[in-house]
Amino acid sequence: RKEVEQDPGPFNVPEGATVAFNCTYSNSASQSFFWYRQDCRKEPKLLMSVYSSGNEDGRFTAQLNRASQYISLLIRDSKLSDSATYLCVVNMWMIYNQGGKLIFGQGTELSVKP
């Protein structure tokens, strides 16, 4: 089983749609969780951290369910510029004590159409 698994995608949605991405992780001792965005042929960029209480940043809402080992990302009112690959990422910081070892999911591709 992969350490971090995501919806396979791709997701093709019209502008203005709401889209949700799901992610599960296998190690219950994982401590920190993130969503990164990666544009084609570029490095990943941090979109937002994910906290147990849930957090929102504009049109983006992230949720963490530790009991189910499940992470989600909701994008409302999607824009053309949201088209990218979204990576679910777990930080193994506390487990390996190596200053932030990130484990990436395989990514979910989002394409927002006019």
Partner 1 sequence: GAVVSQHPSRVICKSGTSVKIECRSLDFQATTMFWYRQFPKQSLMLMATSNEGSKATYEQGVEKDKFLINHASLTLSTLTVTSAHPEDSSFYICSAPRTEVTNEQFFGPGTRLTVL
Report the interface residues with partner 1, using CB under 8 A.
Answer: 32, 34, 41-46, 49, 87, 91, 93, 98-107
Q: Which is nearer to partner 1, 69 or 106 (CB)?
A: 106
Q: Which is nearer to partner 1, 99 or 114 (CB)?
A: 99
Distance of CA 45 to CAs 3, 53, 103, Å? 21, 23, 14
Instruction: Please report how close the Cβ of residue 49 comes to partner 1 at its closest, in angstroms.
Output: 7
Instruction: Please report how close the Cβ of residue 81 comes to partner 1 at its closest, in angstroms.
Output: 20
CA distance 64 to 23: 10
CA distance 77 to 48: 17
